[in-house]
Amino acid sequence: MRLGLERAGWKTIWANDNDPAKKLIYEHHFNEDTCEIFILEDIHQLPPESVPQVGLATASFPCTDLSLAGARKGLSGSGSSAFWGFIDSLKNMGVSKPPLILLENVTGFLTSHGGNDFQEACIALNQLGYTVDPFIVDASNFVPQSRQRLFVVGVQESPPSTVEESGPLFFQSSCRPPALADFIFWHPEIKWNLRRLPDFPETPRKLPDIVEELSPNSSYWWSKERSDYLLAQMSEKHRETANSMIQGDDLSYGTVFRRVRKGKSMAELRNDGIAGCLRTPRGGSGRQILFEAGKGKFRVRLLTPKECARLMGAANYQIDPKLPLNKALFGFGDAVCADVVEWIGKYYLNPIWEELTVAHTSQIKS
């Protein structure tokens, strides 16, 4: 999030997470005294006075607790979701609330508990004085990774919407697919403020462009026995794809995830030039595998931290070589694609910030 916003001209002055490993990853790259910037604390426990006054507040959060069925215990309860802790922090800021907020979550947030969680979240923002605008961006428009994410921009002092309420088809666009457009149409009780966004760029980059060249003797490469076992875990269809790659005249690349199908662990191969969505490695199934094949041979290994960084639009991210592999994979799997955030910054946040600044200046003069 910080990298993308900085590319769009924003400056980060405060950050928060409750994971010590993420703090170490953050500090190693930005190479600064982050004790004043990165606050390692549960958001529910943050003292209100520790949150500075800013122009933009961003938040990424899990959606597992965003429901009444999840036994929510209140905005600052220990069992509440991180989202409600964020809402509580904004509420405590009073008139010092930021004029802009940017939320990020998985697209499942839109349909979680029949859409009730997303409805509650939007109304909670409305009650704090924010109109809201949701849209969905797939990182594959920028980097060779399939990663759809739902974003919500909240504006405290809303300039006029750049679209009119004339039906779900009008709401629909490249960043507001039918399910999201329908949700907007069927929830007039929510204060929306939709804005037009440009079409996404088309990235020329493919999976081979992010592959790191490793020595044949690198410890990353799996043994023949382990590699053969992965091949044996593929269905007939995926095995045919793998065999075609192996028999190719040139090297080609695919990615593999292990998934449980009908109670059996299966290896599913993707070879369309796009990596699957990076995930947090809670167990073996969360770790994405690189499949290299051609000229009658194949090799297998996990994606490296550097490759994950490239897939997140952070090719120059400085990774501590002493950081355990799973810690690095977890950090990148839980992150936001920097290129996507940069695009949102340039085409949404910056223009609306300029509009808010002009409106505020006009009010002072009048």
Per-residue pLDDT of 188-220, as tens digits, reads 999 999 998 999 988 889 999 999 999 999 999
Residues 217 and 195 in one domain: no
Q: How far apart are CA 12 and CA 142, in angstroms?
A: 23
pLDDT in tens, 40-68: 999 989 988 889 999 999 999 865 554 34
pLDDT in tens, 329-343: 999 999 999 999 999
pLDDT of residue 203: 80
Residues 222 and 178 in one domain: no
Domain enclosing residue 226, as ranges: 213-303
pLDDT of residue 286: 76
The answer to whether residue 246 sits within a structural domain is yes
By mean pLDDT, which of 16-20, 140-144, 238-242, 251-255 is the weakest? 16-20
Residues 177 and 220 in one domain: no
pLDDT in tens, 177-195: 999 999 999 999 999 999 9
Residues 182 and 228 in one domain: no
Residues 105 and 230 in one domain: no
Q: How far apart are CA 224 and CA 300, in angstroms?
A: 9
Residue 165 has pLDDT above 90, yes or no: no
Please answer whether residues 185 and 171 qualify as being in contact, where contact means their C-beta atoms are separated by less than 8 angstroms: yes
pLDDT of residue 31: 80
Which residues are within 8 A (CB) of 102 and not within 5 positions of it... i.e. 6 or more apart?
Answer: 56, 57, 58, 59, 151, 152, 153, 154, 344, 349
Q: Which percentage of the chain shows pLDDT scores above 90?
A: 71
The model's confidence at residue 285, banded by pLDDT at 50, 70 and 90, is low
Residues 245 and 194 in one domain: no
The answer to whether residue 316 sits within a structural domain is no
The model's confidence at residue 290, banded by pLDDT at 50, 70 and 90, is very high
Please answer whether residues 190 and 119 qualify as being in contact, where contact means their C-beta atoms are separated by less than 8 angstroms: yes
Nearest partner of 100 among 182, 142, 158, 16, judged by Cα:
158
The SS3 of residue 332 is helix
Strands 131-138 and 100-106: unpaired
pLDDT in tens, 64-101: 554 344 444 333 334 347 898 899 999 999 999 999 99
Which pTM does this prediction carry?
Answer: 0.91
pLDDT of residue 149: 96
The model's confidence at residue 158, banded by pLDDT at 50, 70 and 90, is low
Mean pLDDT of all residues in 104-121: 90
Count how many domains the chain has. Answer: 2
The answer to whether residue 135 sits within a structural domain is yes
Mean pLDDT of all residues in 282-286: 62
Residues 240 and 261 in one domain: yes
The answer to whether residue 111 sits within a structural domain is yes
Neighbours of 50 (CB within 10 A): 11
pLDDT of residue 95: 92
Mean pLDDT of all residues in 92-119: 92
Q: What average pLDDT is seen over the chain? A: 88
Mean pLDDT of all residues in 145-158: 92
Q: Which percentage of the chain shows pLDDT scores above 70?
A: 87
The two structure tokens encoding residue 313: 């639009």
Give the sheet arrangement for strand 289-294, strand by strand. 264-270, 252-261, 289-294, 297-302
Residues 126 and 232 in one domain: no
Mean pLDDT of all residues in 270-286: 84
Residues 174 and 285 in one domain: no
The answer to whether residue 131 sits within a structural domain is yes
Residue where a domain terminates, one of 281, 303, 325: 303
The model's confidence at residue 152, banded by pLDDT at 50, 70 and 90, is very high
Please answer whether residues 234 and 265 qualify as being in contact, where contact means their C-beta atoms are separated by less than 8 angstroms: no
Mean pLDDT of all residues in 16-24: 92
The two structure tokens encoding residue 86: 């964020």
Q: What is the CATH number of the domain that holds 163?
A: 3.40.50.150
The model's confidence at residue 132, banded by pLDDT at 50, 70 and 90, is very high
The answer to whether residue 308 sits within a structural domain is no
Residues 122 and 16 in one domain: yes
